[in-house]
Amino acid sequence: MDLWFHSIRICWWRVLFLMSIFQDYLSSMLDCPPTCSCSQTEIYCNKSDNGRFFPLLALQDTGSNGTSVDIAELFQNISSIHIENWTGLQTLRDVDMELYTGLQRLTIMNCKLKVIQARAFAQNPHLRYMRLDGVVFDCGCDIRWIQLWQQKGEAGLNTQQLYCKNGDSKIRLQHMYIQNCDLPEISVSHSSIQVIEGDNVTVSCNGSGSPLPEVDWTVGGLHSINTHQSNVYWPNIHSINLALFNMSRDDNNFQLTCIAENVVGMTNSSIQINVQFPPVILRLAEPEQRHDTCIEFTVRGYPHPKLRWFHKQVEIQQNDYIRTEMDFYQDYLEGCLTFQNPTHINNGNYTLEASNILGTVTKTVNGHFLVAPDVDEVTPTPSDETSRRDEDTFGVSIAVGLAGFACVLLLVLFVLINKYGRRSKFGMKGPVAVISGEEDSASPLHHVNHGIITPCTLDAGPDAVVIGMTRIPVVENPQYFRHGHNFSNSLLLVTLITNGLTFLYGHTKGPLNHKHEAKYTKTVALQNVMYCKEKCSIWSESLTSNAASLRG
């Protein structure tokens, strides 16, 4: 505990020692007035003095040590000045205050101060409080600005009782009235101007008031060539023309300000200058890997140019994988062409095109993202092309053959299903009608009745056979018996045709046209005749009885 206390005491002694050294160094650099006490941030003068000038720190000789000191910074650190009982101080000028740029509080008490110039605090933007106790000004236009500050509440003057002397009488400052003593009024020829780079333009500013104001344009920082022409129109108008030549793009968005100032104060008005110029691409960088891959660019132009991107001379359509992200400034565009997970397909030249109403400019950069995979490129020879065509022809032939084989196989399956699908041994059940009228006949000459009118239900009669929905007359020809023809086989053919047409009619659920009848008659008849030849010995007796019934 004792060691800790001892170390703290040593640290305090060091701090005090360093502060004394710094104060000695500061006092060696700046000489404080004899009736004042000075610190790093304050000048305090409360002793009587008949000096006529505002207290100013004087620079001392630094000797031969060559130490470099920023005097302006030392004055800027002064934030408070207190002056009391200085009977010789009668006027406060702008030169007295211009070095104290960091001044925040000013106190002047019991002094014979009579006038404070209107621009005395022009270089003291941080002044927040001013105390003027016991000060009696001379009534006049020179202190009109103080009256205006008091009315507006500037620097805390609205809480103080200020006086001025008018002859032998003393009146409150707020009651002072001076004719022809007001802030100047100002007017400019344009609120804004828009020109093209290289153009010439003239603007005018008029200041009026009493006393007559001084009028001028502030052209500090203006790049274009300019000339002034001043005209005074008595008693109270001062006009000044500003001619601008060869307007520069660097003056785009420049605020051109006109100032009118008299003893009461200052007023100003500004003109916005807009200079249009064609676009220029200031920067187009190679792809850089960030969160996403970025081709960074900077484009300048006014009006803001429209941007288009091309990859291998083809315009890029913006999407989630390739898109433009940028920010807009006064006459700049800055951003990136952003890629999400680019591959070797994205390699190549990227061209940026920027255009506005005054022109178009392009710039190209090469983008290399990934190395393309190795692919052996083989140049085809004529013999290879011939063999490839032969192989293609052979392949087509095989495909056609397979397709034909598949069609034949499907046709055979269809025939087999049509041939055996109606026999009872395959489990086919349902209403069956045959020509003989016997339900349980073993003959395969039957048809499926789907609940509609079939040819078998029609009355054919002894002299006709029903084919489809048509009654066809049957004429017996004795030559069939004379020449050994088997009439039963012919009648069987007619019956088979009738059976096939009836089956087809039942599946189409409508009358058959002649084309369907001819096609189906040929197919079914051939199938059934072949079947009958194989089973002729079994069915001969049944066919003979059917033929007799048809003749009968």
Contacting residues for 259 by C-beta, under 8 A, at least 6 apart: 186, 215, 216, 217, 218, 266, 267, 268
Domains 21-134 and 277-367 in one fold: no
Residue 517 to residue 510: CA distance in whole angstroms: 12
Please check whether residue 539 is in contact with residue 511, taking contact to mean a CB–CB distance below 8 angstroms: no
- Given a cut of 60, whether residue 416 has pLDDT beyond it is yes
User: For 409-437, what is the mean pLDDT?
Assistant: 60
- Per residue in 55-85, pLDDT (tens digit) is 777 654 444 444 445 677 888 899 999 999 8
State the residue for tokens 């001619």. 243
Q: What is the pLDDT of residue 457?
A: 47
Alpha helices in 153-285 (DSSP H): none
Q: Mean pLDDT for the chain?
A: 75
Confidence at residue 328, expressed as pLDDT on a 0 to 100 scale: 92
CATH 3.80.10.10 fits 21-134, yes or no: yes
- Distance separating alpha carbons of residues 532 and 216, to the nearest angstrom: 128
Residue 401 burial by Cβ neighbours in a 10 Å radius (0-12, 13-18, 19+): exposed
* Closest to 297 (Cα-Cα) out of 349, 352, 362: 352
At the topology level of CATH, where does 185-274 sit? Immunoglobulin-like (2.60.40)
Work out the pLDDT band at 404, boundaries 50, 70, 90.
confident
Dig out the tokens for 413 from the structure: 């399956």
Q: Compare 153 and 506 and report the one with higher pLDDT.
A: 153
State how far the Cα of 527 lies from the Cα of 40, in Å rounded to an integer: 128
According to DSSP, residue 550 is labeled H
What is d(CA 191, CA 441) in angstroms, rounded to the nearest whole number? 116
Q: How many CB atoms lie within 10 A of CB 286?
A: 11
Average pLDDT over residues 103-117: 91
pLDDT in tens, 522-547: 554 455 545 545 554 444 455 455 44
CA–CA separation, 413 and 425 (whole Å): 18
Q: What percent of the chain has pLDDT over 70?
A: 65
Q: Does residue 138 contact residue 115 with C-beta atoms inside 8 Å?
A: yes
The more confidently predicted of residues 185 and 530 is 185
Weakest-pLDDT range from 110-119, 367-376, 443-452: 443-452
Q: Where are the domains of the chain?
A: 21-134, 185-274, 277-367
* Residue pointed to by tokens 């392009």: 362
Residue 104 has pLDDT above 90, yes or no: yes
Is the per-residue pLDDT at 491 higher than 80? no
Q: How many CA atoms lie within 13 A of 117 on its CB side?
A: 15
Measured distance CA(77)–CA(120) in Å, rounded:
19
Main-chain dihedrals φ then ψ at residue 504, nearest 5 degrees? -65, -40
> For residue range 436-461, what is the model confidence (pLDDT) as tens digits?
344 444 444 444 444 444 444 444 45
Q: Is the predicted pLDDT of residue 44 greater than 90, yes or no?
A: yes
Taking 70 as the threshold, does the pLDDT of residue 369 lie above it? yes
Packing angle between helix 382-420 and helix 514-534, nearest 10 degrees?
70
The two three-digit tokens of residue 198, written as one number: 């290289």
What are the tokens at 170?
Answer: 């003393």
d(CA 33, CA 45): 8
Domain 277-367 fold is Immunoglobulin-like (2.60.40)
Tokens of 95: 């030169």
Per-residue pLDDT tens digits for 226-264: 999 999 988 889 999 999 999 999 999 999 999 999 999
DSSP 155: G
pLDDT at 29: 44
Per-residue confidence band for 49, with pLDDT thresholds at 50, 70 and 90: confident
